[in-house]
């Protein structure tokens, strides 16, 4: 069996790791891959954004199926092109991927389908957007409608901050075309949960929720990032009430969303990510993504070691149909700490030599994200988020400590990482944060 994995980040390394764990003899080809993935398979220097080159690669390699990690090639229509050529692939079409690539489309879809979500307005004119900000009041959320690498959301604590965010997006073009339309959205209060659903467009399997940490610094301070760490499971959703809440999410979010996508002639297949806010009035959708989240995937897949996630993805890609299966669970806990480059998220520095721990404890996995080999063969930083350090243990407390202490042993100039991943979970368990 051979699989082609498109992408070269920590999420793709975790996916490659999971597929290899499920099938020891699996041949892995990655485009472009990274030094971590290279330890599991063969990396080919084809950019994840170059759809035509990827089609040519697949026709040359003839993998049994292809797994797409990042959102950009999905938005560019890679699934459409592969299907035209009869190449099995896991992921949504470009039209279905619009559930992530256009927050305006996703918001209207939710409103039409009756999916619970925050009130919002779409604007392309700065003056009108600022007037909406004043009507909504602070705190308020300003979102770029298009793809902005996970950084297109600004939670403004004052009206003045929100108006500056509007100017940054609509007047200064701070997010380029992604910010040519903005959503002014009411601020929701509660904890967030990342929920993942493998789907063939009609049926689905719910994976356990995880919780991401977006802010750069401890205590949720600093700028928003693509994600500085995650953990699974979320005990808040492990109780009887929590399980009932998740069952309600499948009825009120997943089912009507998939139905609405089919009715619009753009059935969604692949991985539907629902970012939820657990408000006092019940769960509401913050956003949809059309692919696995990063860094939640790096926590979730090791937590699900032994669960045939890869086989389910392959069935969707090859057969177009998800086999009947019970929702998976795990008896352990997983915590992921991201180690980021100097200057991240605004101007990440590259080229700094990386020293990895000499000994990695059992149950700890280092997923490469922004790494590369320099001309001398040294491992160096090559992106904003450099490594994801995931620890799996029989208790949350032990997993958390292992992740944090191993992340501290990753050495390079200017490294940044949070020491408090899972702090809400720790407080629930009355552990020190």
Averaged pLDDT for residues 242-265: 96
| Backbone torsions φ then ψ of 401, nearest 5 degrees | -65, -40
CATH architecture of 2-93: 3-Layer(aba) Sandwich (3.40)
Q: Tell me the C-alpha to C-alpha distance, in Å, between residue 68 and each of 44, 181, 363.
A: 15, 27, 26
pLDDT of residue 178: 84
Predicted confidence at residue 433, as pLDDT, reads 46
User: Residue 150 above 70 pLDDT?
Assistant: no
Tell me the domain boundaries of the chain.
2-93, 125-180, 191-319, 333-428
- Per the model's pLDDT, the better-predicted residue between 211 and 146 turns out to be 211
Torsion over CA of 99, 211, 328 and 243, rounded to 10 degrees? -90
Among the ranges given (69-73, 208-212, 222-226, 336-340), the one the predictor scored with the smallest mean pLDDT: 222-226
Q: What is the pLDDT of residues 270-291, one digit of tens each?
A: 999 999 999 998 999 999 999 9
Above pLDDT 90, what percent of the chain? 90
Report whether CATH 3.20.20.370 matches the domain 191-319: no
Topology classification of domain 333-428: 3.90.600
| Sign of the dihedral through C-alpha 208, 308, 334, 357 | negative
Break the chain down into helix, strand, coil percent, rounded to 5.
Answer: 35, 25, 35
Largest CA distance in the chain: 59
At residue 214, does pLDDT exceed 70? Answer: yes
Q: What are phi and psi of 274, to 5 degrees?
A: -110, 115
Rg (CA), the chain: 21
Chain segment 286-326, per-residue pLDDT in tens: 999 999 999 999 999 999 999 999 999 999 999 999 998 87
| Cβ-contact 117, 287 below 8 angstroms | no
Q: Provide the pLDDT for residue 146.
A: 86
Residue 83 burial class via C-beta count within 10 angstroms: exposed 0-12, middle 13-18, buried 19 and up:
middle
Q: What is the mean pLDDT of residues 371-387?
A: 97
Q: Give the CATH superfamily of 125-180.
A: ATP-grasp fold, A domain (3.30.1490.20)
Q: What are the DSSP calls for 81-98, one per residue?
A: HHHHTT--EES--HHHHH
pTM here is: 0.93
Res. 63: pLDDT tops 80? yes
Tell me the mean pLDDT in the region 388-400: 97
- Average pLDDT for residues 74-86, to the nearest whole number? 98
Average pLDDT over residues 128-133: 93
Q: With a cut of 90, say whether residue 40 has pLDDT above it.
A: yes
Residue 194 or 430, more confident:
194
């Amino acid at each position: 069996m051979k699989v082609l994995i498109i992408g070269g980040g920590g999420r793709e390394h975790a996916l490659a790791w999971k597929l290899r764990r499920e099938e020891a003899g699996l041949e892995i080809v990655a485009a472009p891959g990274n030094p971590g993935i290279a330890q599991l398979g063969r990396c080919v220097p084809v950019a994840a954004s170059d759809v035509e080159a990827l089609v040519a690669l697949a026709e040359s390699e003839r993998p049994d199926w292809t797994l797409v990690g990042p959102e950009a090639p999905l938005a560019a229509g890679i699934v459409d092109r592969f299907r035209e050529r009869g190449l099995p692939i896991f992921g949504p079409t470009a039209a279905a991927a619009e559930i992530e690539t256009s927050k305006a489309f996703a918001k209207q879809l939710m409103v039409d389908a009756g999916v619970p979500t925050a009130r919002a307005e779409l604007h392309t004119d700065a003056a009108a957007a600022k007037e909406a900000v004043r009507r909504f009041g602070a705190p308020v959320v300003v979102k770029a409608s298009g793809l902005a690498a996970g950084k297109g959301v600004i939670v403004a604590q004052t009206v003045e901050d929100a108006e500056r965010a509007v100017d940054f997006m609509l007047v200064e073009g701070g997010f380029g075309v992604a910010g040519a339309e903005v959503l002014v959205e009411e601020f929701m209060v509660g904890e967030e949960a990342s929920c993942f659903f493998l789907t063939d467009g009609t049926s689905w399997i719910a994976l356990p929720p995880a919780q991401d940490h977006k802010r750069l610094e401890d205590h949720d301070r600093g700028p928003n990032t693509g994600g500085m760490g995650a953990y699974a499971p979320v005990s808040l959703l492990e109780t009887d009430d929590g399980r009932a809440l998740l069952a309600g999410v499948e009825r009120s979010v997943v089912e009507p969303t998939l139905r609405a996508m089919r009715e619009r002639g753009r059935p969604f297949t692949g991985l539907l990510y629902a970012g939820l806010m657990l408000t006092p009035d019940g769960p509401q959708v913050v956003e949809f993504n059309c692919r696995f989240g990063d860094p939640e995937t790096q926590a979730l897949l090791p937590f699900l070691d032994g669960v045939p996630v890869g086989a389910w993805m392959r069935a969707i890609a090859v057969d177009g149909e998800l086999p009947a299966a019970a929702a998976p669970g795990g008896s352990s806990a997983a915590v992921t700490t991201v180690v980021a480059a100097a200057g991240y998220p605004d101007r990440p520095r590259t080229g700094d030599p990386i020293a990895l721990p000499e000994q990695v404890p059992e149950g700890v996995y280092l997923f490469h994200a922004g790494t590369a080999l320099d001309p001398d063969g040294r491992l160096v930083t090559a992106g904003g988020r450099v490594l994801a350090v995931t620890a799996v243990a029989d208790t949350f407390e032990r997993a958390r400590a292992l992740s944090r202490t191993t992340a501290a042993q990753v050495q390079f100039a200017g490294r940044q990482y949070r020491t408090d991943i899972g702090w809400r979970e720790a407080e629930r368990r009355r552990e020190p944060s």
